[in-house]
Amino acid sequence: MEKLNRKIQPKAFSIDNIKFNNPKKEILENNIPVYIFDNPEQEFLKIDFVFDAGTKYQQSPLVATITNKMLKEGTKSYSSIKIDKTIDFYGAYLILSTSKDIATVSLYCLNKNLQHLLPVVEEIIKHPTFNKKELEILLHKQKQAFLLDSEKVNVLAARNFSKALFGKNHNYAFNTTLSDFDKITQKQLFDFYYRHYTTNNLKIVIAGNITKKVKSLITEKFSDKWRVSVTNKFIIHKPQSTTNKFNLIKKEDTVQASIRIGKIMFNRLHDDYKGMLVLNTIFGGYFGSRLMTNIREDKGYTYGISSSLISLGDTGYFAISSEVGKNVCKKAINEVYNEIKILKTELVNKQELNLVKNYMLGQILRSFDGVFSTSDNFISLIINNLDFDYYNELINKIKTIKNSEINKLANKYLDKDTFIEVVAGNC
């Protein structure tokens, strides 16, 4: 037997086996597109109803989120408790969620139970009643949750960062206050619902064992012309970031400060997005990133620090976030800028660049493991009207990008003076 040399890493093979196909697309009679990710081996099914009904469309705070949450609190034929009982009895998960751009109704269930559950989901989507008593209960609960969240420095930092970044009245800015929970009316919810929860604002994405029966159930329940809205072109203004560089939200007796540093950037549709994604990974996008290596693994200031490039429907932003001990807050911020300076002045060495390239390819490989994560990937692209061709281009970019381009991007976009800093806690 040959002697084992533990000092040398086993031979590494390149990652060329990333396989993904765009979903099969079918169109219902009422023009709703249905995207299908089929895996006949799987007993579990996931159906996402994706509406253009995110918070950016709301006229006043909370309306989009509460409309979405209220869908399952009573419909024409089912009471709230009846809906809860049915979902629970069949071991299903019904998840309602609202982001800045979209609102979704997601059903996870065993294939064999779909026939019992889809009629409920149909009612939730087509005939919610926004029952006043249920609304009162929900608002009370949400208000308590809001109060609780307001005690958390990371939440305070995130909320205020969003306002500072987009401008207080921008569609993408967080703008809820406690009194908003007392102002929401049933009429507002109906108005929002009629405008946004319509056939022409809906995409259906299904993943799992998509049998003929599954398809026919969906066709039966969702192909009629249940509601069409007039499509007004949605106009969104340019973000107006604050001119205050440093914004402190003071909170006494906290042992850590929550930091956000960032600026408006762009979304996936921009030419430089993919290159910036590589830059972001190097900088703060993975466990071995420069921010983590310096600020956690070398200095021990924090449990974690990361940067991210967020793609929204109409714009995007770049953000660094961390919770750090309050006495090292200023030092941590300085180190962030030091790392930015290094990116701008020194070329990333080949070893590090290759590592990041392979890491990113591995991440993409993982994100296409199984139909559920594949469909999640697809939904995240919907807001930018992209499909998986985007990933082909991204993989190509990752494989070909050179350190000179990273350096150029750093100098083009990471000007210290353009960053806004928000800290909640003590600093």
Partner 1 sequence: MINFDKFKLDNGLKVIVHKDKTSPIVAINILYKVGARNENPQKTGFAHLFEHLMFGGSINIPSYDTPLQKIGGENNAFTNNDITNYYLTLPKQNIETGFWLESDRMLSLDFSDKSLEVQRKVVVEEFKQRYLNQPYGDIMLLLRPLAYKKHPYSWATIGKEISHIENATIQDVKDFFYKHYAPNNAILVVAGDVKTNQIKKLAEKWFGNIENRKIDKTKIPIEPKQTKERKKTVYRNVPFNSITKAYHMCNRLHKDYQATDLISDILSNGNSSRLYQNLVKDKKIFTDINAYIMGSIDNGLFIIDGKINNNIKVKDAENEIINEIENLKNNIIDNNELQKVKNKVEAALKLSEIGILNKAMNLAFYENLGDANLLNTEIDKYLNVTTKDIKRIANNIFKTENTSTLYYLKKNND
Considering only residues 159 to 188 of the shown chain, the ones binding partner 1 according to CB under 8 A are none
Residue 359 as a binder of partner 1 (CB under 8 A): the answer is yes
Is residue 17 part of the contact set for partner 1 (CB under 8 A)? yes
Burial class of 271 by CB neighbour count within 10 A (0 to 12, 13 to 18, 19+):
exposed
114-118-120 Cα angle (round to 5): 130
412 touches partner 1 (CB under 8 A): no
Among 15, 96, 236, 353, binds partner 1 (CB under 8 A): 15
- 26 or 376, CB closer to partner 1? 376
Q: Decide: is 108 part of the binding site for partner 1 (CB under 8 A).
A: yes
Q: Which residues 42-71 are close enough to bind partner 1 by CB under 8 A?
A: 42-44
Instruction: Work out whether 254 is an interface residue with partner 1 (CB under 8 A).
Output: yes
User: Of 226 and 368, which has the nearer Cβ to partner 1?
Assistant: 368
| Only segment of 106-114, 198-206, 338-346, 384-392 that touches partner 1 (CB under 8 A) | 106-114
363-371 contact pairs (CB < 8 A, 24+): 364/18, 364/391, 364/394, 364/395, 365/15, 365/17, 365/18, 368/18, 368/19, 368/20, 370/39, 371/37, 371/38, 371/39, 371/42, 371/46, 371/207, 371/208
Query: Interface with partner 1 includes 391 (CB under 8 A)?
Result: no
One character per residue 260-299, x = contact with partner 1 (rule: CB under 8 A): --------------------------xxx-------xxxx
Q: What are phi and psi of 283, to 5 degrees?
A: -70, -55
Q: Whose Cβ is closer to partner 1: residue 112's or residue 238's? A: 112
The token duo for 340 is 């930015």
Nearer to partner 1 by Cβ, of 153 and 422: the residue is 153
| Interstrand relation of 420-425 and 246-250 (parallel, antiparallel or unpaired) | parallel
Q: If binding is defined by CB under 8 A, does position 392 make contact with partner 1? A: no
What b/e readout covers 78-99, taking b as 16+ CB neighbours within 10 angstroms?
Answer: bebeebeebbeebebebebebb
**Contact residue for partner 1 among 21, 59, 115, 147 (CB under 8 A):** 147
110 lies in the site for partner 1, by CB under 8 A: yes
- The DSSP output letter for 40 is T
Q: How far is the CB of 372 from partner 1 (least distance, A)?
A: 6
Which listed range, 55-63, 220-228, 366-374, 376-384, lies at the site for partner 1 (CB under 8 A)?
Answer: 366-374
Residue nearer to partner 1 on the CB measure, 16 or 417: 16
Residue whose C-alpha is closest to residue 405's, from 269, 282, 266: 282
Does residue 37 bind partner 1 (CB under 8 A)?
no
Q: Which of 264/427 has CB closer to partner 1?
A: 427
In this structure, what token pair is assigned to residue 5?
């040399």
> Is position 253 an interface residue for partner 1 (rule: CB under 8 A)?
yes
Q: Is 44 exposed, middle or buried (0-12, 13-18, 19+ CB in 10 A)?
A: middle
Cβ proximity to partner 1, 17 vs 400, nearer residue: 17
Q: Which long-range contacts (CB under 8 A, 24 or more apart) does 347-351 make?
A: 347/403, 347/404, 347/406, 347/407, 348/282, 348/403, 348/406, 348/407, 349/403, 350/403
Q: Which of 41, 182, 271, 417 binds partner 1 (CB under 8 A)?
A: 41
Among 325, 399, 407, 426, binds partner 1 (CB under 8 A): 325
Cβ-based nearer residue to partner 1, 33 or 288: 288
**Shortest distance, CB of residue 353 to partner 1, whole angstroms?**
11
Residue 355 touching partner 1 (CB under 8 A): yes
CB of 186 to partner 1, least distance (A): 18
- Which distant-in-sequence residues (6+ apart) come within 8 Å of 117 by Cβ? 86, 87, 90, 92, 107, 109
Sequence-distant (≥ 6) Cβ neighbours of residue 273 within 8 angstroms? 266, 267, 309, 311, 316
